[in-house]
Structure formats: structure tokens, C-alpha cells
């Protein structure tokens, strides 16, 4: 399975959420690859804390591979190379967790047929070797989205399971922009149709992830005045109605990641130790990542009602 992840705007928590989903799938025993297609800002190595390793692999990442400058991009074993001690410990039953990094400073670029062939070869190799391949695309109407749609429209991908996660924050601006990214001019559906995708089939393969969502319960309202808490509840209700009208409602949403101080300030993998000793992260956040990781391969969650 290949899962493409994108968002209309940066700062949605897309990359850190995808990294945590990959981490949870690998902990569950799957071999997982994370391919950094964020051409404008390939930062996944920071989330996995692979700074030294990715510097040694400079100029050998996804950008170089697509341009034909290297035959294969670098692969970084997260369990072996992470600078974070808890990630290097032996984990019984865990599958492989591999980062295919982007090139620092690679930037956006358009694709030609040769580049599309190289992209197809890369993704098919990942799909054959790994149970789940997560491809983190650039934000907005990017060349990365165009390359992904152009590549997966090729006949070689007819029998490959591909799915899309579109991330947004829980605000009116993000909800409206996300709906436009998918369904309006030069959006995912229009670009996909241009390259030969069936629009109805593509709609079935798209789900939304709400990120950095503040809670509306009593614990989340602690420290707020009564008027502020009531306002928060009314805004949440209005956003729920708006998202439903725009096609981003409950049945189209794969999961919700709550606002968490560790994600907000550190943008890191959240381990079980982060919840237990000392408890710096919230258990609800870990559960949200587990639920999203499970939902990737839950076919019922991808059925259109």
C-alpha cells in the first residue's frame, strides 16, 4: 500500500503525524517506508532525529533520484541511526522503519516523462518491499502532487492500493482551503482526471485528518472563563457543520489528532515512554496515532457511504 499525504497549507502537523503513524505501524510489526516528497521543505529527518545520518546522505535523496542523478535514493534505518536513544533500543516484534529523505534545498520542480518513469520505479520498489509506504508531499498545489497523480495513473499501478490523506487544522480557513485543494480548480481531483484517474475512484481513496484540534470538554476548558468555554463550544459546532457541507465531515475524516504540547513545541515521535515516565505527552494523542495507523488498512473506513 502507498499512502500519499498532503495539505493545502504548511503548519498542519502533516509530517509529524505521518511520522508517528509510520512509527506505530512499524511497532505493530509492519515494514514501513517514509518517503519525503516535501520538495520545498524536506524535514522528516528532524522528526525521526536523523540529523547526522541525513547530512551524510546529502545530495542522494528523493530529488536526486527523480532527476536521474543517482540510481537509487538513500535509505536511512530509523532504529539503527536515530540520535534518540529510545528509538535505538531493540523492539521485539517491530518491523523495519526506513526513511527515504529529500535533498536539503532541493526545491520544487516540474516533471517530464523520464522523471515520471523514475518516480514509478521508486514507488513500485517501495511497494514491493514494504507493507506500507507513506509519501509525504509538499503543501498546496505543488509539483509533488502533480508527479504523484501522474505517476499513479500509469498502467503499472493498476493493481497497487493507493490512498490519500489530506491534513487540515480545525479552523474555518483551513477547512475551506482544504476543500478547495481537493475539489476546486487545479485541485487533486482535477489534476487526477487530467492524468487519467477516474474521479469517483479517486474520491473514494481520499480521507481527511484533522490535526492540532483543541478539545471542547471540561478538561480542555480548564483555565478559560465561562464565556470563553461557551464560545469554544459554539465555534467547534460551527466548524463541524461547515466541514460537513464542504465534504470534510465525519464519514470522510479518517481521524483527529488533539492539540498536544509535545507536538506543538517539539514535533517529535511520541513514544509510550513519553506518556509514562515522565508523562510529558497526552495518552489521547498516542491513541489517536494508533487509531490512524490501524485505519490506514481498514477497508471499511475507506468505503463511500
Domain 2-215+252-298: give its CATH code: 3.40.50.300
Residues near 178 by beta carbon (within 8 Å), at least 6 away in sequence? 7, 8, 166, 167, 168, 208, 248
Do 134 and 15 contact (CB within 8 A), yes or no? no
Q: What is the pLDDT of residues 71-121, one digit of tens each?
A: 999 999 999 999 999 998 868 899 999 999 988 766 667 789 999 999 999
- For CA atoms 260, 262, 266, 269, give the dihedral sign: negative
Q: State the average pLDDT over residues 279-294.
A: 95
The closest alpha carbon to 2, from 162, 205, 151, belongs to 162
Q: What is the pLDDT of residues 131-184, one digit of tens each?
A: 999 999 989 998 999 999 999 999 999 999 999 999 999 999 999 999 999 999
pTM: 0.94
- Res 215: pLDDT: 72
- Res 41: pLDDT: 74
3 phi and psi, to 5 degrees?
Answer: -115, 120
Within 10 angstroms of residue 201's Cβ, the number of other Cβ atoms is 10
Q: State the average pLDDT over residues 263-289.
A: 92
Say which residue the cell 474520491 belongs to.
203
3-state SS, residue 99: strand
Residues near 194 by beta carbon (within 8 Å), at least 6 away in sequence? none
Average pLDDT of the chain is 92
Phi and psi based region of residue 26 (left: phi greater than 0; alpha: psi -120 to 50; beta: remaining): alpha
Q: What is the pLDDT of residues 170-195, one digit of tens each?
A: 999 999 999 999 999 999 999 999 99
- Res 132: pLDDT: 99
Amino acid at each position: 500500500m502507498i499512502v500519499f499525504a498532503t495539505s493545502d497549507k504548511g503548519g498542519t502537523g502533516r509530517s509529524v503525524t505521518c511520522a508517528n503513524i509510520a512509527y506505530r505501524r512499524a511497532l505493530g510489526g509492519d515494514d514501513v517506508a517514509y518517503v519525503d516528497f516535501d520538495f520545498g521543505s524536506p524535514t522528516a529527518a528532524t522528526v525521526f532525529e536523523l540529523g547526522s545520518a541525513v547530512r551524510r546522505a546529502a545530495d542522494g535523496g528523493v530529488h536526486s533520484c527523480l532527476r536521474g542523478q543517482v540510481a537509487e535514493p538513500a535509505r536511512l534505518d530509523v532504529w539503527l541511526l536515530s540520535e534518540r536513544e529510545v528509538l535505538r533500543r531493540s523492539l521485539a516484534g517491530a518491523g523495519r522503519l526506513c526513511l527515504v529523505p529529500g535533498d536539503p534545498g532541493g526545491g520544487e520542480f516540474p516533471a517530464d516523462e523520464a522523471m515520471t518513469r523514475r518516480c514509478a520505479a521508486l514507488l513500485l520498489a517501495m511497494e514491493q518491499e514494504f507493507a506500507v509506504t507513506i509519501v509525504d508531499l509538499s503543501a498546496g498545489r505543488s509539483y509533488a502532487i502533480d508527479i504523484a497523480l501522474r505517476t499513479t495513473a500509469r498502467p503499472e499501478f493498476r493493481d497497487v492500493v493507493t490512498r490519500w490523506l489530506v491534513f487540515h487544522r480545525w479552523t474555518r480557513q483551513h477547512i475551506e482551503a482544504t476543500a478547495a485543494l481537493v475539489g476546486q480548480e487545479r485541485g487533486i481531483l482535477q489534476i487526477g482526471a487530467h492524468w487519467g484517474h477516474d474521479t469517483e475512484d479517486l474520491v473514494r481513496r481520499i480521507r481527511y485528518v484533522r490535526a492540532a484540534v483543541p478539545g471542547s470538554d471540561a478538561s480542555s476548558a480548564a483555565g478559560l472563563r465561562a464565556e470563553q468555554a461557551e464560545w469554544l463550544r459554539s465555534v467547534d459546532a460551527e466548524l463541524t457543520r461547515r466541514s460537513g457541507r464542504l465534504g470534510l465531515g465525519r464519514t470522510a475524516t479518517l481521524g483527529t489528532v488533539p492539540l498536544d504540547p509535545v507536538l506543538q513545541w517539539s514535533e517529535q515521535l511520541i513514544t509510550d515512554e513519553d506518556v509514562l515516565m515522565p508523562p510529558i505527552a497526552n495518552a489521547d494523542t498516542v491513541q489517536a496515532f494508533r487509531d490512524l495507523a490501524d485505519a490506514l488498512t481498514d477497508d471499511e473506513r475507506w468505503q463511500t457511504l
